Amino acid sequence: MSNLKFADTHNMVAFLEKPTESVGFEEIIDILNANPIKYALTINPTIYTSCIKQFWATIEVKTIDGEMQLQALVDGKKVIIIEAILRRDIQLEDAEGIECLPNAAILEHLTLMGYEKVSQKLTFYKAFFSSQWKFLIHTIL
């Protein structure tokens, strides 16, 4: 696994209002507003940069009892992050959702989304998406 690092663009908040001057984005805003991920994208807690930097500087990925954990030290305290905690705290209610999509389904839907260079490889580039889908990808990332 690659080294995890702090970036200034982490923890950005999305504003999911329908644009008046950009045609084609309304449907994506509707999807995001109706989805449980809305809370995770729009919540604006107080986040201290010093804590984030400490977290990323000390983070380790461990597997304990078959469960992947992120472990770090923040202000001398051990912080452990697991999937269940993230799902609870950012209010994702999709634990029983789809775990894996077949490649054929992914490629088919990329074509429907207007992805310009669909191939059998599962490496995708934001540049080949329409502007609406670039916006969605950027918002989620």
CA distance 49 to 140: 21
CA distance 129 to 113: 8
Please determine, for residue 72, whether its predicted confidence score (pLDDT) is greater than 90: yes
Please determine, for residue 101, whether its predicted confidence score (pLDDT) is greater than 90: no
Q: Confirm if 71 and 60 have CB atoms less than 8 A apart.
A: yes
Q: Confirm if 56 and 49 have CB atoms less than 8 A apart.
A: no
pTM comes to 0.41
Q: Give 78's pLDDT tier (boundaries 50, 70, 90).
A: very high
Looking at every residue in the chain, the average pLDDT score rounds to 75
Q: Which amino acid is it at 79? A: V
Please determine, for residue 112, whether its predicted confidence score (pLDDT) is greater than 50: yes
- 37-54: average pLDDT: 76
Helix, strand, coil content of the chain in percent (nearest 5): 40, 15, 50
Task: Count Cβ atoms below 10 Å from residue 53 Cβ, excluding itself.
Answer: 13
Q: Which amino acid is it at 38? A: K
Strand partners, 69: 62
Asked which of 2-11, 42-51, 70-79 is least confident by mean pLDDT, the reply is 2-11
Q: Confirm if 86 and 92 have CB atoms less than 8 A apart.
A: yes
Predicted confidence at residue 7, as pLDDT, reads 59
Strand partners, 72: 79
